[in-house]
Amino acid sequence: MVKPKVAIHKFSSCDGCQLAFINLGEPLLVLAGLVDIVHFAEAGPVDESAKVDIALIEGSVSASHDIERLQKIRANSTYLITIGACATSGGIQALRNMADTNQWIRDIYANPAVIDSLDNSTAIKEHVKVDLELWGCPVSKRQVINAIRALLFGVMPEEEKDKICMECKRHQTVCVMVTNNEPCMGAVTRTGCGALCPSVGRDCYGCYGPAENANTQALANRFEGLGLIKDEAARRFLFINSGADVFYQQGELMRETD
């Protein structure tokens, strides 16, 4: 029987989500026995133009040549899955969307003409159809395995939309906002990480993107109640997932009224 083909592609990113894939360890060996990984430059095989059943994409669209390349990947894929914050919302590089890109390129580079950079860093879904988004910075190993396994069984993976707060309750993790007055983003951030930061006493900083029905205004008011000035509170939303609409809108609202 012919094994399903899988490709892992990289756009503008730090490679962290690909490394999470490599760090699967033994499950990766099991997966390699179930599918044929035909393109994964980080790990060895290179065949970007191959027709595949599942294409996973890390990274945002940040350069002019990215769009044409992305369209070819979409045309050659049955299912296209974005992995990580960069691919799903533009990533931390989307912070440049709030600045004059041409100006900072001129300020930093001795020869700006050689820099191929779009004005904005955008999510993959802004350019092609995406079948499933796996949020995170980086994406979790469990997410990737569950998604691929579901598709191999012919069903679409279930998208996790619960808030980190729900994950904390399930794990009986003490709320860091209530007990330590930490400006935790857990009330508006989707789970997927297992509430990693609160489990070790740290506040969530939103790396898994906005949860379903995220009440960002209520959380912003709470941050101010904790003593954060509006600019500090805005930065909590305008960080790793600043390109996510609900986070961007709340952050910009607070910046405008500061």
Report DSSP letters for 132-160, one per residue. Answer: EEE--TTPPHHHHHHHHHHHHTTSPPPPP
Q: What is the pLDDT of residues 68-88, one digit of tens each?
A: 999 999 999 999 999 999 999
| Residue 161 clears pLDDT 90, i.e. is over it | no
Q: What is the pLDDT of residues 112-133, one digit of tens each?
A: 988 888 989 999 999 999 999 9
Question: Average of pLDDT values for 49-58?
Answer: 96
Sequence ranges of the domains in the chain? 5-152, 164-256
Q: What is the pLDDT of residues 169-193, one digit of tens each?
A: 999 999 999 999 999 999 999 999 9
Angstrom distance (rounded) from CA 60 to CA 187 = 26
Token pair of 255 as six digits:
């910046």
For position 150, what pLDDT does the model report? 92
Ramachandran angles phi, psi of 215, nearest 5°: -90, 80
Angstrom distance (rounded) from CA 205 to CA 78 = 34
Per-residue pLDDT band at 24 (split at 50, 70, 90): confident
Per-residue pLDDT band at 1 (split at 50, 70, 90): low
- Higher local confidence (pLDDT), 60 or 24: 60
Question: Average of pLDDT values for 221-243?
Answer: 95
Angstrom distance (rounded) from CA 127 to CA 173 = 39
Domain 5-152, what fold? Rossmann fold (3.40.50)
Residue 171, Cβ density class (10 Å: 0-12 exposed, 13-18 middle, ≥19 buried): exposed
| Residue 32 clears pLDDT 90, i.e. is over it | no
CB 128 within 8 A of CB 199: no
The three-class DSSP label of residue 191 is coil
Query: Mean pLDDT over all residues of the chain?
Result: 93
CB 246 within 8 A of CB 125: no
Angstrom distance (rounded) from CA 219 to CA 235 = 13
